[in-house]
Amino acid sequence: MASSVLYHSNSSYEVTMPLLQNRFQFLNPNAKSDPLFSSHAAGSVRVLLCVGNSTVNSETLDKYPSLECVVGSSTGLNHIDLIECRRRGIRVTNAGDAFADDVADYAVGLLIDTLRRVSAADRFVRAGSWPVKGEFPLGYKVWGKRVGIVGMGSIGRRISKRLQAFNCSIAYNSRKPKPNIPFPFYANIQDLASNVDVLMVCCTLTNETHHIINRDAMKALGKEGIIVNVGRGALIDEKEMVELLVKGELGGAGLDVFENEPCVPRELYALDNVVLSPHRGGAVLETLVRLQEIMIANIEAFFANKPLLTEIEME
């Protein structure tokens, strides 16, 4: 075991990634039986492996005064206080594009499900309603929809590529126009929403993007408009979205993320035009191998004093 790495998680589960386990010695402060973890060990920790969405804030960082690098296992880093890490000179990495294809697949799946009501139809059949209630209500076309992508990063670009196969017209919003992106750019979310049938939300959650999809944007999207969110729950003003969905002032939603996970607004349970998913957009078994390879590369690069593979630029 060449190097020790601190395993940081908000659960009591051990690291279950064999490639990482075979390469590094992990110190686990959550495991009371870990004989290697002590106050001395905490003081000498240089690398912290942040599993999932475990919080890394000033309180966390205070525990490890020698910490130099946080290796994240997710794409989004809203659970890590990047400003505090920058202040302390701590480097941060994320999962890079490990999940990008899978999240894009899932986003398109949620869109198809929401428009064609696949999950609702499945419930209809399983409940024995078909022979009793007759024909299931019609859904809506996917082909040719006008789609606005909020966040034209690695996931947004992949979503656009997939939706072009459905003859969808694409427009997008991001912090600034992207070079070599051939789609119309809207600097204002409300303007984007006014000109599309669907909003696909996949940008990073920051102070600037918190509730970027507000009531005005949803009202601009209209009564037949669809929202798909595979970014973070707080990108949408969830309370306003729920109210508009319940009142029939929004056409539907495909949601993989929520503001207060794992709590989901109960009002959504009864809506057949809403597809709910437990934050599993990028979670497939095959991708765990790629994720481990990225984390291993970052950890080994750190200890070898080489450039990190997926280091976050601290603005």
- 200 and 240 part of one domain: yes
Q: Annotated catalytic, 232?
A: yes
Tell me what the mean pLDDT of segment 282-299 comes to. 90
- 28 and 138 part of one domain: no
With respect to residue 309, please indicate whether it lies within any of the assigned structural domains. Answer: no
Tell me what the mean pLDDT of segment 164-188 comes to. 97
Sign of CA dihedral 11, 289, 36, 304: negative
Q: What does pTM read for this prediction? A: 0.90
Whether the predicted pLDDT of 235 surpasses 70: yes
Say what the pLDDT of residue 85 is. 97
Instruction: For residues 197 and 103, give the distance between their C-alpha atoms in angstroms, rounded to a whole number.
Output: 21
**Tokens (6 digits) for 287:** 């991708």
Whether the predicted pLDDT of 300 surpasses 90: yes
Mean pLDDT (the chain, rounded):
92
Catalytic residue among 59, 87, 175, 261: 261
- 188 and 263 part of one domain: yes
Q: Please state, for a pLDDT cut of 90, what percent of the chain lies above it.
A: 80
With respect to residue 311, please indicate whether it lies within any of the assigned structural domains. Answer: no
With respect to residue 315, please indicate whether it lies within any of the assigned structural domains. Answer: no
Give the strand pairing for 252-255 and 169-173.
unpaired
- Say which residue, 4 or 252, is predicted with more confidence: 252
Say what the pLDDT of residue 31 is. 57
- 122 and 32 part of one domain: no
Q: Annotated catalytic, 14?
A: no
Contact between 94 and 74 under an 8 Å Cβ cutoff? The reply is: yes
Q: In this predicted model, what pLDDT tens digit does every residue of 92-145 receive, in sequence order?
A: 999 999 999 999 999 999 999 999 999 999 999 999 999 999 999 999 999 999
- 296 and 248 part of one domain: no
Banded pLDDT at 314 (limits 50, 70, 90):
confident
Catalytic residue among 157, 158, 232, 238: 232
Q: In this predicted model, what pLDDT tens digit does every residue of 52-77 receive, in sequence order?
A: 888 999 999 999 999 999 999 999 89
Number of domains forming the structure of the chain: 2
Q: Which domain holds residue 242?
A: 100-276
Contact between 182 and 206 under an 8 Å Cβ cutoff? The reply is: no
With respect to residue 308, please indicate whether it lies within any of the assigned structural domains. Answer: no
Q: Annotated catalytic, 88?
A: no
Residue-wise DSSP of 141-166: --TT-EEEEE--SHHHHHHHHHHHTT
Catalytic residue among 79, 86, 88, 279: 279
